[in-house]
Amino acid sequence: MISAQEIQVWSGIEYSTVAEINERFQEETGNTLAIREFDVNNIRSELLLAKQTGITVPDVIWVPSDFLGLHDYFDLAKIPPSWIEEKSIEPKALELVTVDGAIYGVPLGLGNHLVLYVNTKLTDDIQPTWETLLEKAKQGENALAMQYPNMYFLMSFVPMFSDRRPEPLTDIDVSALAAALKFYGALPEKGVVHDEVSQEQARAQFIQGKVPYLIDGDWALGELKQHFSTELKISSLLTDLQ
């Protein structure tokens, strides 16, 4: 009889989801997942450090697909074709985990979309503008919670300053990126958001009713639904300065 195994997992995203997977995995296999949670901004350096120093590295990592560009540095193993049911996976999702013709990850979700969550018990304005939030900040009111800093969140600000706003930004728009960096960098200075805020802290502010708005990923919905009912609304990410 094969004894139960403990699999080391480093998770950089969707902590609540990976906890649910752990429960199902244990029920179905008898094995367990030892999960270490990391901020997505730090897990890359932690992985590189673990590899370089020879200390214990995880068996599995759950991270955004762009980490696969460093597969040689992380020493990631190729995924056996028998593990993938290509007919049941969106072609785009499979494309995102394929590097040089080899598959280096199993896609568990597609998208990295930020949205604006609104607690309508605290506000009737479900689609505020940045101008509105800036004005509230001038009056000493902090209305928005958001993880800060976060490079993924930053990139969602770039389309606000691009002439190609309706189109996907496949090329780097230097002027738009520079403007986005300036705007994003000034948010804590102007009191719109707090500096050095983790994803968990931002969600806690929103859940505890300290702010009416939260910018977070669509993956946060499952956790937020545990704390809200019909008062929780979802709007598109703020894209206008006026």
Name the residue with higher pLDDT: 218 or 77: 77
Distance CA 208, CA 200 (A): 12
Pairing of strands 114-119, 232-236: antiparallel
As given in the structure block, the two tokens for residue 113 are: 């979309």
pTM of model > 0.85: no
Q: In what order do the strands lie in the sheet with 60-62?
A: 32-37, 6-11, 60-62
Instruction: For residue range 165-217, list pLDDT tens digits in order.
Output: 444 444 567 888 899 999 999 999 999 999 999 888 999 999 999 999 999 98
**Which domains are assigned to the chain?**
6-103 (3.40.190.10), 114-236 (3.40.190.10)
Q: Taking 50 as the threshold, does the pLDDT of residue 7 lie above it?
A: yes
Q: Are 27 and 53 in contact (CB under 8 A)?
A: no
Percent of the chain surpassing pLDDT 70: 90
Quote the pLDDT of residue 169: 45
